[in-house]
Amino acid sequence: MDIKVKNLKKQYGNKIILDIEELNLTSGKIYGIIGPNGAGKSTLLKIISGLEEPTEGKVYIDGERLDDLKMKHITYSNQKPYLYRTTVFNNVSYPLKFRKMNKENINSTVNDILHEFKIEHIKDNQAISLSGGETQKVALARALVFDPKCLLLDEPTANIDPDYVEIIEKAVIDRNKKNNSTVLIITHNISQARRICDEIIFLNNGKIVEVGNMKEIFLNSNSNIIRKFLDIEYCALEKL
Ligand SMILES: Nc1ncnc2c1ncn2[C@@H]1O[C@H](COP(=O)(O)OP(=O)(O)OP(=O)(O)O)[C@@H](O)[C@H]1O
Ligand SMILES: [Mg+2]
């Protein structure tokens, strides 16, 4: 799916949270959104997914406004993952039931993704009993189970063990390749962005500072804001 954001503004009270003249995202690419806390990253994702209305401006999916049919091909995972008050299996099967898949296919598709995400052992557990990391894994399995054409992922690996992050990254890359899906992923993890993203969108104070490939952003950016942000991130790593 191609996504176009045009003259977008989001305001809470007097405060302008987002102010984006234009942003174009192309099918088949993985985009990373990076920027400081409060930059407007989550708000942008919520607006593209249709969960939040912009104050001004529009989002176009494949040249048209978002409708129920298009929404069925878009997945969104929240920065604060939430699950329905039922079992892990029921949570992950929900998007397939909603899309009217038959019971046999639902069982095999859900079991496949539970296996891929290494969470089969908790499939009958109640969501409410899960740890924070387990909750995030189940929420992501639910987000990816229906082979979406557009993946909007808000800090999907924030609560996840380092040795498990690879499984999530591989799952995202596989869907991107298999379905030529557009992926928009918010991350604070620069190494993750380097590993999986084709392009980076750097957001600060609700504005796009720069859009570019890894080299342009990480090595050659002229923006002081970006250089400072990256320096802080790298210093934190070097201190270890
Ligand atoms: N419903 C709301 N009402 C009022 N202000 C809001 C609302 N939602 C977000 N904001 C404000 O908008 C700004 C951007 O929030 P947003 O969650 O998009 O930031 P973010 O870039 O995702 O930050 P973080 O890295 O901390 O997740 C913040 O200052 C936040 O307090
Ligand atoms: Mg956020």
Query: Helix, strand or coil for residue 161?
Result: coil
Closest C-alpha among 194, 88, 65, 206 to residue 141: 88
pLDDT of residue 239: 58
The better pLDDT of the pair 68, 112 is held by: 112
pLDDT interval class at 31 (50, 70, 90): very high
pLDDT at 220: 78
What pLDDT does 147 receive?
A: 94
pLDDT of 226 = 84
Q: Which residue's C-alpha comes closest to atom 6 of ligand 1?
A: 12
Report the alpha-carbon distance of residue 189 to residue 174 in Å, rounded: 20
3-state secondary structure of 29: coil
For ligand 1, whether the C-beta of 37 sits within 6 Å is yes
59-68 average pLDDT score? 93
* Under 8 Å between Cβ of 55 and 9: yes
Query: Nearest residue CA, atom 5 of ligand 1?
Result: 12
Q: What is the pLDDT of residues 115-170, one digit of tens each?
A: 999 999 999 999 999 999 999 999 999 999 999 999 999 999 998 998 899 999 99
Mean pLDDT rounded to a whole number for the chain: 93
Report the range of poorest mean pLDDT among 6-15, 40-49, 120-129, 218-227. 218-227
Mean pLDDT of 14-32: 97
Give 159's DSSP letter.
Answer: T
CA 216 to chain centre: 22
- The residues spanned by each domain of the chain are 27-38+46-238
Could you tell me where the DSSP H helices lie in 11-87? 41-49, 68-71
Strand partners, 201: 33, 211
Question: Whole-angstrom Cα distance, residue 86 to residue 81?
Answer: 15
Q: Which ligand is nearest to the CA of 46?
A: 1
149 lines ligand 1 (CB under 6 A): no
> Ligand 1 pocket, 132 CB below 6 A?
no
Residue 237's pLDDT is: 54
Lowest mean pLDDT among 18-22, 100-104, 186-190, 211-215: 211-215
Comparing 216 with 175, the larger pLDDT belongs to: 175
> Which residue minimizes the CA distance to atom 4 of ligand 1?
12
Question: What pLDDT, in 10s, does the model give residues 73-126?
Answer: 999 999 999 999 999 999 999 999 999 999 999 999 999 999 999 999 999 999
Testing ligand 1's pocket by substitution, the residue of 11, 34, 43, 187 carrying the most ligand atoms inside 8 A of its CB is 43
DSSP label at residue 147: -
DSSP string spanning 90-130? HHHHHHHHHTT--HHHHHHHHHHHHHHTT-GGGTTSBGGG-
**Is-contact 141 117, C-beta < 8 A?**
yes
What's the average model confidence in pLDDT over 161-189?
A: 95
pLDDT band with cut points at 50, 70 and 90 for residue 30: very high
| Distance (Å) of CA 25 to CA 7, 65, 95, 116, 190 | 15, 15, 25, 28, 20
CATH number of 27-38+46-238: 3.40.50.300
Burial 183-203 (b: 16+ CB within 10 A, else e): bbbbbebbebbeebbebbbbb
Question: What percent of the chain has a predicted confidence (pLDDT) above 90?
Answer: 83
